[in-house]
Chains A and B, each alone.
Chain A
């Protein structure tokens, strides 16, 4: 099983600030890495797939990078609606999810 670790566990930021979230895989997943945002009581929302491709309707302030074992999700300027929990997921083989990074309001 490919284990994903995310850092930091919690990120406290103000609107307008830049958010940088990290995801590391226990072995290479090539570029098969997705990012999701989840808000309380809601299903996850796909933001990024294949490490760097934005899903349909996702604003340009969200960007993904990386390959192999190290990946980053960047939100260039946080909007109030961007606060929530962010999960990375490898969709290479027998998908697994990371434990999540909570982005909350400072």
Chain B
């Protein structure tokens, strides 16, 4: 079955860029929407944005100026970059999949990766 795995640094310095990659295994990355969602410790979920396999993107208005997503279909991977991070960006970051027929209703999730912003 399809599985997602996030990877990237667990610690990022303030003002630097957070970079995460999600690797899709057990299935093709094509013809799905792929999203990023984050969750600060003990708090709720926040949608960051999504990317389609064509490369078209949609970002949360609150993060649009700092977020960039990309997809590499040859590697079955997609990525998130979040620039100018602050302590408020400390969270568990999840990658997730959604179907064309129900965009942004995420049926498969990665296990999540904790990212701490600290000097």
Contact = CB atoms under 8 A, between A and B. Distances in A.
Contacts of B32: none
A62 interface: no
Interface stretch (A10-18, A20-28, A72-80, A95-103): A95-103
Contacts, number: 54
Given A43-B94, A44-B109, A98 B104 contact: no
A70 interface: no
Nearest to B110: A43
A32 B111 CA distance: 25
A1 interface: yes
A75 B98 CA distance: 24
Contacts of A95: 47, 104
Contacts of A98: 44
Interface string A62-101: 0000000000000000000000000101010011111110
B41 to A, nearest CB: 11
Interface string A36-66: 1000001111100110000110000000000
Contacts of B111: 42-43
Interface string B36-53: 000000001111000000
B105 A50 contact: yes
Given A55-B107, A97-B46, A99-B44, A91 B94 contact: no
Interface in B62-113: 62, 94, 96, 98, 102-107, 109-112
Given A1-B62, A43-B112, A100-B44, 17 more contacts: A32-B105, A34-B105, A34-B106, A36-B45, A43-B96, A44-B45, A44-B109, A55-B107, A56-B107, A89-B104, A89-B105, A91-B104, A91-B105, A94-B47, A95-B104, A97-B45, A97-B47
Interface of B: 44-47, 58, 60-62, 94, 96, 98, 102-107, 109-112
25 contacts: A1-B61, A34-B102, A34-B105, A34-B106, A36-B45, A43-B109, A43-B110, A44-B45, A45-B109, A49-B105, A50-B102, A50-B105, A55-B107, A87-B45, A89-B45, A91-B102, A91-B103, A94-B47, A94-B58, A94-B61, A96-B47, A97-B44, A97-B45, A99-B44, A100-B44
